Amino acid sequence: MRSLVNDVDSFISRNEKYYLERLFRLLRQPSISTQNIGMAECASLVQELFSDCGIENRRYETEGHPIIYGEWLHPDNETTVLIYGHYDVQPPDPLDEWESDPFEPEIRNGRIYARGAGDNKGQFVASILGAKTYLDIHGRLPVNVKWIIEGEEEAGSRHLATFVEQHRALLQTDLVYTTDGSSHESGAQSILLGVRGALGVELVAQEARWDNHSGNLGNIVPNPVWRLTELLHTMRKGHQVTIDGFYDGVRPPTPHEEQILRRIPYDLEGIRRKSGYDALDIDSDTYHRRLMFEPTLNVSGLFSGHTGKGGRSIIPARATARLDIRLVAGQDPDQVYEALANHVRKHDASITLIRKGSVPASRTSADHPAVLAIAKALEQSTGRRPVIQPSLGGTLPDYVWTRILNAPSVIVPYANYDQNNHGPNENIEISYFFRAIRSTCYVLEQLSRVTFNEQSGQSAHTSTVK
């Protein structure tokens, strides 16, 4: 049997120049979704890349920016993988902090500097070039591969869910593989199996119709700040949220997930440095458990009365608290909102609750055979054991795959951890770019050996919010 490792390595080193040129072509094209700059042009370049790599592709218009769909299918392949990435980028501001033009890629110290180098052009281009590499070596891919390269990730993926809902049959897959984000700080590749969801609300306490004189009406007119803070106090005791039903459905870690948690590298000093909270003292187990398996009830804003310069002696008319609640797998945003509404009604019905928006959490089981196969592939490709993380602390629209497509979903970031995405001097290490091409080859190969269950079985492996 031919060894993939030698073939891939020598093939990539012979084609380095071509691969870099392909990436640079996309990096030179600005594609700022939030400012509608260069989007149609960039969408065409994505299509051109697919075509040059021998991959069928189509452009789908949405109410926002186009989605580019690519596919390489073979009737003998039993497995289908859907790869997700995005061709839009953040604005390059502040421009004067860039050492080179953000839309003219430059190589310095082994890195490619350009807006989108890491987030996400370098990563999705590598997935396409990885497939091309495999095709060039073997003449066909070992699994069917579909791609969704969208143009609105940096604008909140506004039309992705609707698109996926409308194209379920087209997108039918055994697994969704997202290539976005940063590798682990240690340089090892990460495998993320889910994300936390989010629910935003506002609590408004309104007393009088206008601010009143605190001397003339003090002790006469009630102050909404007391009302609001008293309500907030009823919601939490120590670390525990005391809202009835708040934790309903929360899925505790499985024994395997417990094991995985213990293997995640832990650097308390680094966390202190990054958070600016020097006194932080938390053990590794509590840290990972709270970030991945527990919801939060966070007050992200609290305002009332006079907050500008100088003083005003007033009794404010209203007080507002903004809550940013992070949800975990098993929690339903609607139910959590209902629990909160009941709590407010019970404790202070005069306070108004306003719902701002929500994204459900997602988590794919670490026991899914595809997870093991991907871990093996990444270890073969990089020579290092990847870091498996059951969930990201943050929120991404991963539910689109687990809930709408009903497919297991894994996120494998290909960029270096210090890619500085969204900031000036965004970059991708050249070695990471080539490693991503290699890893794609190994992942496709390993996934072809996995037996995926039939449709009905997929949901058993995929835990999504119902």
Q: Could you list the residues that contact Zn ion (CB under 5 A)?
A: 119
- Cβ proximity to Zn ion: between 15 and 120 the closer is 120
- Cβ proximity to Zn ion: between 86 and 363 the closer is 86
**Rounded least distance, CB 416 to Zn ion, Å:** 15
**Rounded least distance, CB 189 to Zn ion, Å:** 19
**Rounded least distance, CB 31 to Zn ion, Å:** 12
Whole-angstrom distance between the N-terminal and C-terminal Cα of the chain? 45
Element (H, E) at 264: none
For residues 160 and 150, is the Cβ–Cβ distance under 8 A?
yes
Q: How far apart are CA 258 and CA 252, in angstroms?
A: 9
**Rounded least distance, CB 57 to Zn ion, Å:** 23
**Rounded least distance, CB 89 to Zn ion, Å:** 8
Three-state secondary-structure class, residue 318? strand
In the block, residue with structure tokens 């507002």: 320
- Cβ proximity to Zn ion: between 121 and 461 the closer is 121
Q: How far apart are CA 320 and CA 303, in angstroms?
A: 5
Q: Give the CA distances from residue 206 to residues 14, 309, 345, in Å, rounded to whole numbers and listed in that order.
A: 69, 23, 15
For residues 133 and 441, is the Cβ–Cβ distance under 8 A?
yes
**Rounded least distance, CB 119 to Zn ion, Å:** 4
Judged by phi (left if over 0) then psi (alpha if -120 to 50, else beta), residue 71 lies in beta
Closest residue to bound Zn ion by CB: 119
- Cβ proximity to Zn ion: between 340 and 392 the closer is 392
Q: Where are the beta strands (DSSP E) in 254-383?
A: 298-304, 314-315, 318-327, 352-359, 362-364
- Cβ proximity to Zn ion: between 119 and 398 the closer is 119
For residues 412 and 177, is the Cβ–Cβ distance under 8 A?
yes
**Rounded least distance, CB 411 to Zn ion, Å:** 13
**Rounded least distance, CB 432 to Zn ion, Å:** 16
**Rounded least distance, CB 398 to Zn ion, Å:** 15
Q: What angle do CA 137, 142, 147 make, to 5 degrees?
A: 95
- Cβ proximity to Zn ion: between 119 and 150 the closer is 119
- Token pair belonging to 320: 């507002």
Q: Residue 307: which residues within 8 A CB-CB, separation 6 or more?
A: none
- Token pair belonging to 280: 């932080």
- Cβ proximity to Zn ion: between 119 and 332 the closer is 119
- Cβ proximity to Zn ion: between 32 and 68 the closer is 32
**What DSSP string describes 205-256?**
EE-SSS-EETTTSTTTS--HHHHHHHHHHTTEETTEE-STTTTTTPPPPPHH
- Cβ proximity to Zn ion: between 113 and 442 the closer is 113
- Token pair belonging to 275: 């958070």
- Cβ proximity to Zn ion: between 46 and 323 the closer is 46
**Rounded least distance, CB 153 to Zn ion, Å:** 6
